[in-house]
Amino acid sequence: MSRGASADPVWLRRTLLTVGVGWIVLLVVAPILAVFGGALGRGGAAFLDAVFHPDTLSALKLTLLAALCAVPLNTVFGLSAAWLLSRFQFRGRNLLGTLVDLPFSVSPVVAGLLLVLVWGQQGWWGPWLSRHGIHVVFAWPAVVLATVFVTFPLVVRELLPVLQEQGSSEEEAAILLGAGGWTMFLRVTLPNIKWALLYGVVLSATRAIGEFGAVSVVSGHVRGQTNTLPLHVEILYNEYRFQAAFAAATLLVMLSVVAVAVKGFLERRAHR
Amino acid sequence: MSISIKGLNKHFGKYHALRDVELSIPDGELVALLGPSGGGKTTLLRTIAGLESPDSGQILFEGRDAALQRPRDRGVGFVFQHYALFRHMTVFENIAFGLRVKPRTERPSEDEIRAKVGELLKLIQLDWISDRFPDQLSGGQRQRVALARALAPKPRFLLLDEPFGALDTKVRKELRRWLRELHDELGMTSLFVTHDQDEALELADRVVVMMEGRVAQVGTPDEVYERPATPEVFQFLGNVNLFHGRLAEGGFRHHAQATSGRDAALAFVRPHDLEVERFASSESSVAAVLTHAYALGPKVRLELRRTDNSAPMEAELSRDRYRNLGLVAGDPVWVTPTNLRVFSADEDVVI
């Protein structure tokens, strides 16, 4: 093998490799192993007991429910908003673009407090709702709302640059060739943005599953009812039930691993 | 299908893109919309297609108001400047698109689509690349695919936005000739936008010159080139030499000849309408100095500077004539306009 002018010396390559791999092991691999170690520390039976505990399952269910509500809602919203921002010129367009980013820039705790302010007992329409027997704050609807709120910019932000870069002339061509709006969207727009869209969906799913701050403010921590998986882990940990906390955490880690795998797959497809 | 346009106006914010455009395009003609960029050509084309809606005015397709039709029902074939091919579809699927999206009752069968697309691929001489994707094609190939795609649903008009703008000179020449043949063969009404005067003059039956959102002149290529309607059109269509002067008895007198006379006027002379000699041959000759000469194919282009006011001038001679004169840079010469087009404030006269 011949060495080009740009090739680094062997010792440098080895050092860089060692530092890089060491860093990842220290920061990522070791903690993940620690989570699994802690979870299985008292044997498989105790692990399964903790995983299949009704409170854990209920937390898992609520986490998945929140994600299943947030992802489709934000997909539809994200498509519409990205479309609006990239294809039309209107008054207040820049303002809308800024507002879309707000849930990202504001602290999740503030997001939770905003929800309490609007939907809570002393909030704007909280009293009217509770008179009609609808409880939002400290019940599952608030958990869903909080999750939707914090994941709201993810799909838009993935789609917007792609839509802007592609411009609208393919869509105009489709219309002039006789396609209706819906046909145009399905056959011309969607195929061009599908990888960005899927990527945005995966990102918002992982964020929805992992969300802690905003959900923590509005959930009320009712065990077996309004706890999500991250909240459940925290409660178990604060009660010094480390093994159970680690067991619940493994569920979260596995969901993340799936999401990262899907993301990696999508990235490879998109760049082909 | 004829198109007639009445009192069309279009603004983009404060920018007045189309100003009272009146135009009628007879059935079966190949028409060029010619003008400098920002003149409103593309806006007019997009408005005819229905991609922009006018602020006021009417577009009539064979007497029927186009505003009542959705863009997709206008029967317009449109070729975009950068082709706008569907990048995720093969050449075949690109061309088939207009057939596949027809309403169920009018949609041809799969076999008919296959036959029709095959026919179009043959027409554009690209039947061997039907499985490729747009990014695997050259510019000229993309252009032809875009044209085939526009033709597939049998449009009544073909609108082309700067169709040859992004191609190199040789491909552009070929495609021009090919478009002309295609137009004659298919007998459609076609309208194309260009900023290239050669392209417009060579290809079109009729040239529409657009400037600053207005139609400045409509005519055959000969009429537009020989008798430009305004000084702006004259200057846009090729190189010109400008003479300031006055209208006097017997016609135009430029400043070097006479200072008395009635109205101030401008005269334009094409480089090939300037005679260059060693000696003054008429009272309208002006003295000049040759600054530079270069060959352009069979012609020689001379850059001159007037002795009286140092204004630059440009003349074009045949190689033979240039050789006989035996000129070198720095030589004094006499320049005589042989064909002037004169514009005054209120009328124009040709000498």
For B169, the enclosing helix (H) or strand (E) is helix B169-186
Check if B3-236 and B241-350 are the same fold: no
List pLDDT tens digits, range B259-285.
555 667 788 888 888 888 888 887 788
Contact B153 A175 (CB under 8 A): no
* Residue B3 near residue B59, CB atoms below 8 Å: yes
Q: Does A88 touch chain B (CB under 8 A)?
A: no
pLDDT tier, B351 (very low <50, low <70, confident <90, very high otherwise): very low
> Greater confidence, B178 or B111?
B111
List pLDDT tens digits, range B16-47.
999 999 999 999 999 999 998 888 899 999 99
Nearest chain A Cα distance for residue B323, angstroms: 53
pLDDT reported for residue A3: 56
pLDDT reported for residue B120: 92
> Greater confidence, A42 or B79?
B79
pLDDT reported for residue A124: 84
In chain B, where the domains are located: 3-236, 241-350
Residue B348 has pLDDT above 80, yes or no: no
Nearest by CB to A173, which of B73, B84, B102? B84
CB atoms within 10 A of CB B150: 22
> Greater confidence, A104 or B108?
B108
Q: Per-residue pLDDT averaged across B188-200, rounded? A: 90
Contact A169 B80 (CB under 8 A): yes
Which of B228, B210, B231 is CA-nearest to residue B220?
A: B228
Chain A residue numbers with beta carbons less than 8 Å from the beta carbon of B157 are: none
Residue B93 has pLDDT above 90, yes or no: yes
* Residue B273 near residue B339, CB atoms below 8 Å: yes
Nearest chain B Cα distance for residue A161, angstroms: 17
Q: Would you write out chain A's pLDDT as a tens digit for each of its 272 residues?
A: 455 667 778 889 899 999 999 999 999 899 888 888 888 888 888 888 888 989 889 999 999 999 999 999 999 999 999 999 998 888 888 898 888 888 888 888 998 898 888 888 888 887 888 888 888 888 888 899 999 999 989 999 999 999 999 889 999 999 999 888 899 999 999 999 988 899 899 989 999 998 998 888 888 887 878 889 999 999 989 998 888 889 889 999 888 888 889 888 887 877 66
Contact B72 A175 (CB under 8 A): yes
Just give the CATH number of B241-350: 2.40.50.100
Contact B97 A179 (CB under 8 A): yes
Nearest by CB to B84, which of A170, A179, A180? A170
Q: Tell me the DSSP string of chain A.
A: -PPPTTPPPHHHHHHHHHHHHHHHIIIIIHHHHHHHHHHHTT-HHHHHHHHTSHHHHHHHHHHHHHHHHHHHHHHHHHHHHHHHHHH---TTHHHHHHHHHHHHHS-HHHHHHHHHHHHSTTSSSHHHHHHTT---TTSHHHHHHHHHHHHHHHHHHHHHHHHHHH-SHHHHHHHHTT--HHHHIIIIIHHHHHHHHHHHHHHHHHHHHH--HHHHHHHTT-TTTT--HHHHHHHHHHTT-HHHHHHHHHHHHHHHHHHHHHHHHHHHHHT-
Residue B346 has pLDDT above 70, yes or no: no
Find the residue in B nearest to A194 (Cα): B88
End-to-end CA distance of chain A: 29
Topology given in CATH for the domain delimited by B3-236: Rossmann fold (3.40.50)
In chain A, where the domains are located: 1-40, 43-270
CA geometry: angle B54, B60, B63, nearest 5 deg? 160
Which of B191, B184, B151 is CA-nearest to residue B61?
A: B191
pLDDT reported for residue B287: 87
Just give the CATH number of A43-270: 1.10.3720.10
Q: Per-residue pLDDT averaged across B60-76, rounded? A: 84
Q: Per-residue pLDDT averaged across B59-81, rounded? A: 86
Q: Does A31 touch chain B (CB under 8 A)?
A: no
Residue B111 has pLDDT above 70, yes or no: yes
Q: What is the pTM for the complete model shown?
A: 0.80
Nearest chain B Cα distance for residue A183, angstroms: 8
Interface test with A, best of B11, B78, B102 (most A CBs within 10 A): B78
Exposure string of A26-64, with b = 16+ CB inside 10 Å and e = fewer, is eeeeeeeeebbebbeebeeeebeebbebebbebbbebbb
Interface test with A, best of B42, B73, B86 (most A CBs within 10 A): B86
pLDDT tier, B167 (very low <50, low <70, confident <90, very high otherwise): confident
